[in-house]
Amino acid sequence: MSRGSFDARSLTPQAQAVVDAGPICDACLGGAFGQLGRGMSNPERGRAVRAALAEAAPPATGTACWVCGGLFGEVEEWARRAVARVADVEFGTYLFGMRPTPRLREVEAYFHERFASEAAEPLRHAFNRSVGKAFEALVGRGTVDFQDPDVSFTVDLVKDDVTVRLASLFLYGRYRKLVRGIPQTHWPCRRCRGRGCPACGGSGKQYPESVEEIVARPFVAAARAAGAHLHGAGREDIDARMLGTGRPFVLEIVSPRVRSLDLKALAGELASEAAGRVEVAELRWVGRDAVAQVKETRATKRYRARVALSAEVDEASLQRALTALVGEIEQRTPQRVAHRRADLVRRRRVHEVQGRVTAPREAEIELVTDGGLYVKELVSGDDGRTNPSLSALLGVPAAVAALDVMRITSSEFPDGESSSMDEPDGVA
């Protein structure tokens, strides 16, 4: 017989062998032929093949079934427990999975080995589908989604529990950081590593707030989410501002209990709460893929730096040094980040530099570089670890006194504005 059609009589020899092995419920008997007969449920298949047998033992009930041990009799109960877990959760799609007990795993393997058949359906597939159908009937909403469900349930037979995972929401945008001293993401307190101690006033944080927390707050509250992660296209130093058209990011809203969010209203709320510190633009919903895209994007950066010089430098010397700075830079991992970054030598380009002497011992420079070039070290030389450096070219120790990121340009995340040296923000 062809795969797909269902003829109970033709299955009799196989069905008899299964029934003879021990008491079995209709769902498990039907599951042995689960790939046959479109539109039938496994218990219906089981009843049909049982009726065709010459000597049919009655279906096993309760825990008597030697295959599932009564699991298929508990489908409704598991569905009810799942419904209770999402009483206050908004979702459109769902998926059920299960964690079998070791006993069930062994019995299932034994069953498929002893009654090997292409027509058989794995027990867990049958169970997941059955619970899903019962769940949908009870809750009166939702569609199964095998790829990217809003809600994923796991019927954990080992722990006798239903666990729920709510898929994250992902929001793309670009942020501007208008003040210094705010990290991009929250930093656990160095002293207590986040547990809370007198040094951090019990907050567990090294800095009272971050771009991540500022941007996330209204969205986490509206989504009744567990939290949020900001994935940035690189990050500026805590003491650097992020100006111009901003830095691309994806905000991941974790475990949202509400999914239909009013983006415009929340953007307005964010704008008034964060005014003067952080601004966000171009907000739109994106898929999970955007996280990797935004983190891997290779962007060029335009910076403006106020440079403190330890001796007087004339304009002509500065111009000569800046001209010599354009080109390839060899940069060993800076000492200030060596504790958390691999020690290696990077090659990055300085594409253009302009600047002028602004005070006897001060210059202002603006430069365009590859992403991943450390600008503070490009200026200071980092004890010879960055070559060439402005400091070495001038023959005068130099250090960045204030740094702003003026523009981030990436082909994947265009900002739709032309580059400009006439940024209205002054170097503060």
Query: What residue ranges bind Zn ion (CB under 5 A)?
Result: 25, 28, 65, 67-68, 189, 191-192, 197, 199-200
Asked if 179 contacts 276 with a C-beta cutoff of 8 angstroms, the reply is: yes
Asked if 215 contacts 248 with a C-beta cutoff of 8 angstroms, the reply is: no
Residue 371, Ramachandran bin (φ over 0: left; ψ between -120 and 50: alpha; else beta): beta
Q: What is the DSSP string of 167-231?
A: PPEEEEEEEEE-SSS--SS--B-TTTTTS--GGGTTS-BSSS--HHHHHHHHHHHHHT-SEEEEE
By C-alpha distance, which of 218, 192, 211 is closest to 203? 192
Q: Between the CA of residue 66 and those of 28, 29, 98, 120, what are the distances in Å?
A: 9, 11, 19, 17
Q: 25 vs 171, which CB is nearer to Zn ion?
A: 25
* In the complex, least distance from residue 22 CB atom to Zn ion, rounded to whole angstroms: 10
Q: 189 vs 318, which CB is nearer to Zn ion?
A: 189
- Nearest 5°: phi and psi at 279? -125, 145
Q: Measured between alpha carbons, how far is 387 from 395 in angstroms, rounded to an integer?
A: 13
Q: What's the helix, strand, coil split of the chain in %, to 5? A: 30, 25, 40
Task: Please tell me whether residue 144 adopts helix, strand or coil conformation.
Answer: strand
Q: 19 vs 291, which CB is nearer to Zn ion?
A: 19
Q: 197 vs 402, which CB is nearer to Zn ion?
A: 197
* In the complex, least distance from residue 107 CB atom to Zn ion, rounded to whole angstroms: 10
Q: 59 vs 232, which CB is nearer to Zn ion?
A: 59
* In the complex, least distance from residue 4 CB atom to Zn ion, rounded to whole angstroms: 24
Catalytic site residue 237?
A: yes
- Nearest 5°: phi and psi at 105? -60, -45
Q: 110 vs 285, which CB is nearer to Zn ion?
A: 110
Q: What's the first-to-final CA gap in the chain, in angstroms?
A: 82
Q: 97 vs 188, which CB is nearer to Zn ion?
A: 188
* In the complex, least distance from residue 191 CB atom to Zn ion, rounded to whole angstroms: 5
Catalytic member of 237, 382, 404, 415: 237
* In the complex, least distance from residue 76 CB atom to Zn ion, rounded to whole angstroms: 15
* In the complex, least distance from residue 101 CB atom to Zn ion, rounded to whole angstroms: 14
Q: Measured between alpha carbons, how far is 335 from 338 in angstroms, rounded to an integer?
A: 5
Q: Measured between alpha carbons, how far is 234 from 216 in angstroms, rounded to an integer?
A: 18
Cβ neighbours of 3 (radius 10 Å): 8
Residue nearest to Zn ion (CB): 189
Q: 45 vs 259, which CB is nearer to Zn ion?
A: 45
By C-alpha distance, which of 351, 385, 355 is closest to 370? 351
* In the complex, least distance from residue 70 CB atom to Zn ion, rounded to whole angstroms: 7
* In the complex, least distance from residue 49 CB atom to Zn ion, rounded to whole angstroms: 14
Q: Measured between alpha carbons, how far is 295 from 185 in angstroms, rounded to an integer?
A: 14
Angle between helices 211-223 and 263-273 (to 10 degrees): 140
Asked if 361 contacts 310 with a C-beta cutoff of 8 angstroms, the reply is: yes
**Which are the catalytic amino acids?**
237
